[in-house]
Chains A and B, each alone.
Chain A
């Protein structure tokens, strides 16, 4: 890869430095509120909904997503919006309306812990271990990408960037725990918007406004006007038939992949669990849906602008579409992933450039911090306390949480170094961990609504579903059948979902269910409605209640789909 050296001046470094003073300052201030493990690992369940909602969005707004989504925007245009409007918002609303009452109401401290209470230790161990390992690996990948970016933008050696970034994340999380991670995610959200919103507006100004962008994109001589409407998105789904493409996007991306990710991923759910009441917990993903549906405008549009404005990017796209991406990369020295950086270099003045670099660095570190803070909770409560050293006082587990954080950061540095040498291996591993999500969603949703479902069915379904996804993936990789684009991932996830449900049903009828009295708070029919309400507060007004607010979000996302369809 070639350098994309940004011409950062002292004013940019000043802004970046100020930002990092605040990042560490948050860790320092948050530390003063921590006296128990629940405060360290779950923020004492005291945060207001708007804070956890922004953290919920930010935890997923790592630089991988920002760079990746603007890259896909540069490549395909508006169909990329599906990753937000179809692939995130509906699942977030579902999490808030349907699933959060179980997570928060049962007072579990993690998603794997819910698994243990509902299905016992078999399913719990599978879930907790795979989650913990996946988080460390993903933290490493995030860290590696951060190192690469710092290296290419500012010319720092990779290992220095790795160690400095890990040290910063480590210091604010060991000091301030989840509160520090969440507050930093909120701060990061504003810095990212402060960087990307002007970038989008200036970029639009340079291409002659919205009309100018439309004209340039329609006449780019490649995909043309197809890039201006999100549906049917054949390029994105890889299906050439428009009907199949719509079905593929709605069921593959919108249902199986996104529900699996958003509703069971503890990195996300943990943000909601940190909120102060069951109402705030349910509002977390629902309020988060509003910024989530607007973010693509400041991420995907800049990618599209970059592809028609920045000469290097335009040239790359032309060669990529007439020959292939490898040739294009060797001739221009860039890839789609550089779309956003190239636009930043092209249009941002010094000053704003500093804000943008701070925002990107923040996004990388927040991504890593989110993985680490979810990891240390699962490690302390679900692995260490459950299986290794039981029944110690809380101070002990607070200490375990802090050591786990240190350990995770060190392992992440080494993972990052490995990731640098085996890029493909890391891709495969990430895909593999993605396979755990689809069956998880099937198991959770069955378990929450079907009281007969037995503990054995819990782990059998999970293991069977995951293995079937891996099998589909291996078959398509080895060329036994050939599915274009995202087709293989959609099919693998769907297979996992179906296999999980079928296996769970078969096994349930052959094994003993859990006694009904143990299912309160865990299964819908066994839980009194009042468990899902917070009786200590007066009933909130309409506009602070989860279901009406979710309704508004749903209507808005439908309008967006129609307007930009």
Chain B
């Protein structure tokens, strides 16, 4: 696999932020649906009257939107580098050191 191939590939497809966004988004949609159609009295008793699935679902969808928007707004840029040495120029300039990410959903 040549470096040139990697250049075109990595820039588009494999960004962990998309993975996170899609997974949390699917989870969110499923939970929102469950919360809307299947909120039973038994469940209300368990949670003390919160529709937990619905609210968690909404939270997950918002987080998902955040990650996908982040990946769209600041995509990974690969600077091609002929060197195949360790620590070569796979520069991913995508918001390194974003202190905020540690806190946004913790």
Contacts and interface: CB of A to CB of B under 8 A. Distances in A.
B72 interface: no
A11 B30 contact: yes
A471 interface: no
B106 A187 contact: no
Contacts of B59: 194, 198
Contacts of A54: 101-102
Interface in A7-48: 11, 14-15, 18-19, 22, 25-26, 29-30, 32-33, 35-36, 38, 44-48
Point out which of A48, A287, A294 has the most chain B C-beta atoms below 10 A from its C-beta.
A48
Interface stretch (A230-238, A342-350, A372-380): A342-350
Contact of B31 (A206, A279, A352): A352
A295 interface: yes
Secondary structure call for the A interface? helix
A295 B27 CA distance: 22
Given A30-B14, A50-B97, A187-B20, A205 B48 contact: yes
Interface string B1-21: 100001001100110100110
B44 to A, nearest CB: 9
Contacts of A25: 19
A48 B106 CA distance: 19
A149 interface: no
Nearest to A544: B97
A183 B38 CA distance: 33
Nearest to A198: B56
B87 A355 contact: no
Contacts of A50: 95-98, 101-102
A190 B22 CA distance: 12
Interface residues of B, number: 50
A350 B56 CA distance: 12
A33 B27 contact: no
A107 B87 contact: yes
Q: Which 6 A-B pairs have the closest CB atoms?
A: A290-B102, A544-B97, A46-B90, A351-B34, A349-B43, A205-B48
Interface of B: 1, 6, 9-10, 13-14, 16, 19-20, 22-24, 26-27, 30-31, 34-35, 38, 43, 46-50, 52-53, 55-56, 59-60, 63, 84, 86-88, 90-92, 94-99, 101-103, 105-106
Given A202-B52, A291-B102, 15 more contacts: A22-B22, A33-B6, A33-B9, A33-B10, A50-B96, A50-B98, A190-B24, A198-B56, A202-B46, A290-B99, A347-B46, A347-B47, A349-B52, A351-B53, A549-B99
Interface of A: 11, 14-15, 18-19, 22, 25-26, 29-30, 32-33, 35-36, 38, 44-51, 53-54, 107, 183, 186-187, 190-191, 193-194, 197-198, 201-202, 205-206, 276, 279-280, 283, 287-288, 290-291, 294-295, 346-352, 355, 540, 543-544, 549, 552
9 contacts: A14-B30, A48-B92, A50-B98, A202-B47, A279-B97, A290-B106, A291-B102, A352-B31, A355-B56
